Structure formats: C-alpha cells, structure tokens
C-alpha cells in the first residue's frame, strides 16, 4: 500500500513539472516585431504586432497607428504609385485612380475612384474597400469614410526612402513581408548601380514644378530633388525658403536663378508636357535676362516624364533615377 501511495505522489509531481515546462517553452503574451524606418519630416516607425489573435499593427506616414485583426482583403488607392506597389505584392485592389491614358488589361475591371485632388466619394462607397490608401491631404475627408468601416492609411513619396518604406509597410499590412523585402532588395540594387553612374556630377540644375502660369522650384527634400542628388547633380535652389503649404517647394525667384545660372532646367508637370514647356519658355521671354542663362542658350530646357516625376513612380523609381542620370549627361554635352 505504501508503495502504491509513493508511486501515485511521484506521478502527480511529474505531471505538474511537465505542465510547467510546457508553459516555459511556449511562452506567454505577445510576440512583437518592430521595423523602425525614417521619412522626411514624419515619425515613420512602421510596426507589426503579432499576438494570440494574430493582429497586425502598422504606423503610416502621418504617425497614425492602425490595427487589423487580419490582413485586409480589399484595398483602394488614389495614387498610381501606391497602386503599382500594391500590385507588386499581389494585393486585391478594388478601386484605382482615374486614368487619363491607356489602361492595362489587368486593371480594366477595377473601378476608378478619382485622384488625390478629386476623389470620387460615390465610387469609393460603391467598392467599399476595407482600406483606402491616400496622401495626408485626404485627412479632411477621412471621418465620413471611416464611419462606414473603411480604414484610411496615409503614404507619402517625398524621397526614394519614403517609397521603400511604403513597400515595407504594405508588406506588413498584407502579411507579405518576405515578398516586400524581395522588392526592396531588388530596387536597392538598381538604385545603387545607378547612383551617379551615368549622370555628370556637379551639373547646376533648376527643377521647376507646375503648370502654365503657376510654377514652383523643387527643393532637395522633394522626390525629384532627392533623385537629382542621387544622380550627382547640384540643386541651385537648395537654400531657397520653403513654401508654407508645400514645404518640398519654394517660390520661383528670378533674381537668384539668374545669379546662379543653371546649366540645366528640368520641368515637372502633371499636364501636357509640350504645353508646359511652351508656356514656361513664354515666361522666360518676358524677362530678357533668362535668355542669358547657360541652360537656355544651350537648349538644355527639358520636360521630365510625368509618370515618373509628376507623381509617385512606385516601383519604377529606379527608372526615374535613370532618366535623371540621362538628363544630366545630356546637359553636359555640347
């Protein structure tokens, strides 16, 4: 009888020890992975929390933290660059920016929902996405959309780094971090190979953004300014005072531009490139001093492709750097 009791006690103790060991090996609480990234002028830590319910947490370009119970299954966007990045990660896109040109076959059945400047709220409501990707300027409209159950995630593209960080955030949100890292690695390899490789260093350049009758100068903290620096060019407006509403741009100061005498003038626009170039040349004719600029005398006034510079180029950002390199090289040729 004594032997039986001893055996029973030992059995209970072994069971308890095994249970404790199991708790230690499995761990308790949430496992948290944080990917810290940096954007111009913005708190851009992007993070993902994976807990027992497999919730996903991201931090967008405005510093807003957003939690998803699971990866969203329907997404809409107002930006062609964000659309490009989402498609690269095979996201289910139910709403896309309105197109003025030819539409790819794979997108013809996806509803157009307007653009960042003119969102079509009726169409957005029709597709009723779980997530809408938008620029920070959309914040004024977000409350009504969020009341309908759509989460608004903000992105920005003021630098190459912003674009890479957006791809990383999309990967986290979609549960496709590995795929996102492959895209980022590929882009970094292209960008490293292109940085200053074909461009001519030190080319004094003026980057002008706008439409006929309304022009601003792009600063180094803009995407085009970042690409110019990566290609080895010199932004003659680097110390121009920022516009209050558009901190990546400055007012066009004719006196300073004439004083610094750019070797190249590059125009960036959303609209008709030839119309913009003609209008800008008209502006230069109003001030005879413009005619003495090296860029004008040597015919080095060019219009950069709008799909790469007039908007977020997404995964085609390496193509934009290639164009910048080529433009600088052309500016040096006689």
Domain final residue pick, 193, 219, 241: 193
Are 35 and 59 in the same domain?
Answer: yes
- State the pLDDT at residue 197: 58
Question: Quick one: what percent of the chain has pLDDT higher than 70?
Answer: 80
Whether 297 and 309 map to the same domain: the answer is: yes
156 and 215 in a single domain? The answer is no
Q: Could you read off the pLDDT of 204-220 as tens digits, one per residue?
A: 999 999 866 678 999 99
CATH of the domain at 147: 3.40.50.1980
C-beta separation of 33 from 50 below 8 A: yes
* Residues 174 and 86 both lie in one domain: yes
Domain housing 88 = 31-193
Q: Is 308 helix (H, G, I), strand (E, B) or coil?
A: helix
Task: Output the pLDDT for position 334.
Answer: 62
Residue 18 lies in a domain: no
Question: Do both 176 and 229 map to the same domain?
Answer: no
**Based on the domain organization, do 201 and 166 belong to the same domain?**
no
Number of domains in the chain: 2
Q: Answer whether 196's CB lies under 8 Å from 233's CB.
A: no
CA dihedral of 110, 113, 117, 118, whole degrees rounded to 10:
150
Asked if residue 88 is part of any domain, the answer here is: yes
* Beta strands 214-218 and 234-235, pairing class: unpaired
Same domain, 106 and 242: no
Q: Are 150 and 142 in contact (CB under 8 A)?
A: no
Q: Residue 53 has what pLDDT?
A: 60
What is the predicted pLDDT for the residue at 31?
A: 30
**Residue 283 confidence (pLDDT):** 76
Q: What is the spatial distance between Cα 4 and Cα 12, in angstroms, rounded to a whole number?
A: 13
Q: Is residue 253 part of a domain?
A: yes
Measured N-to-C along each axis, helices 160-174 and 80-88 cross at an angle, to the nearest 10 degrees, of 50
CA distance to 30, 181, 328, per residue, from 62 (Å): 25, 22, 34
Regions in the chain scoring below 70 on pLDDT = 1-53, 100-102, 196-201, 211-213, 334
Task: Looking at the structure, tell me whether residues 41 and 117 fall in a common domain.
Answer: yes
How far from the centroid of its chain's Cα atoms is residue 217's Cα? 20
Q: Which residues of 122-155 are buried (b: 16+ CB within 10 A; e: fewer)?
A: eebeebebbbbbbbeebeeebeebeeeebbbbbb
Instruction: Identify whether residues 72 and 184 lie together within a single domain.
Output: yes
User: Burial, 293: exposed, middle or buried (Cβ in 10 Å; 0-12, 13-18, 19+)?
Assistant: buried
- Give the pTM: 0.81
pLDDT given for residue 212 in this prediction: 64
Last residue of a domain, one of 155, 175, 193: 193
Which of 158, 174, 193 is a domain's end point?
Answer: 193
Q: Is 75 helix (H, G, I), strand (E, B) or coil?
A: strand
pLDDT in tens, 115-136: 988 999 999 999 999 999 999 9
Q: Tell me what pLDDT residue 99 has.
A: 80
Judgement on whether residues 189 and 211 belong to the same structural domain of the protein: no
Same domain, 201 and 188: no
């Amino acid at each position: 009888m004594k032997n039986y009791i001893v055996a029973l006690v030992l059995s209970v103790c072994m069971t308890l020890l095994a249970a404790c060991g199991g708790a230690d090996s499995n761990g308790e609480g949430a496992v948290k992975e944080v990917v810290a990234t940096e954007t111009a002028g913005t708190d851009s830590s992007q993070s993902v929390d994976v807990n027992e319910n497999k919730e996903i947490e991201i931090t967008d370009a405005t510093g807003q933290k957003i939690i998803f119970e699971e990866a969203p299954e329907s997404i809409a966007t107002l930006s062609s660059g964000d659309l490009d990045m989402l498609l690269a990660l095979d996201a289910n896109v139910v709403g896309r920016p309105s197109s003025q040109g030819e539409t790819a076959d794979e997108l013809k059945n996806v509803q157009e929902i307007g653009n960042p400047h003119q969102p079509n709220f009726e169409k957005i409501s029709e597709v009723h996405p779980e997530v809408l990707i938008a620029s920070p300027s959309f914040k004024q409209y977000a409350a009504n959309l969020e009341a309908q159950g759509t989460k608004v995630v903000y992105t920005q593209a003021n630098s190459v780094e912003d674009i890479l960080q957006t791809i990383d955030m999309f990967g986290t949100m979609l549960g496709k971090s590995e795929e996102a890292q492959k895209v980022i690695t590929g882009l970094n390899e292209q960008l490293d190979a292109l940085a200053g490789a074909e461009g001519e260093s030190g080319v004094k350049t003026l980057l002008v953004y706008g439409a006929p009758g309304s022009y601003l100068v792009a600063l180094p903290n803009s995407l085009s300014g970042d690409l110019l620096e990566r290609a080895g060019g010199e932004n003659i407006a680097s110390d121009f005072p920022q516009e209050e509403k558009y901190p990546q741009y400055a007012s066009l100061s004719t006196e300073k531009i004439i004083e610094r005498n750019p070797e190249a003038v590059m125009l960036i626009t959303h609209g008709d490139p030839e119309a913009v170039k003609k209008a800008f040349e008209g502006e230069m004719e109003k001030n005879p001093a413009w005619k003495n600029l090296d860029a004008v005398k040597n015919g080095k006034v060019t219009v950069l492709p709008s799909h790469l510079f007039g908007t977020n180029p997404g995964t085609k950002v390496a193509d934009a750097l290639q164009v910048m390199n080529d433009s600088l090289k052309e500016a040096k040729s006689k």
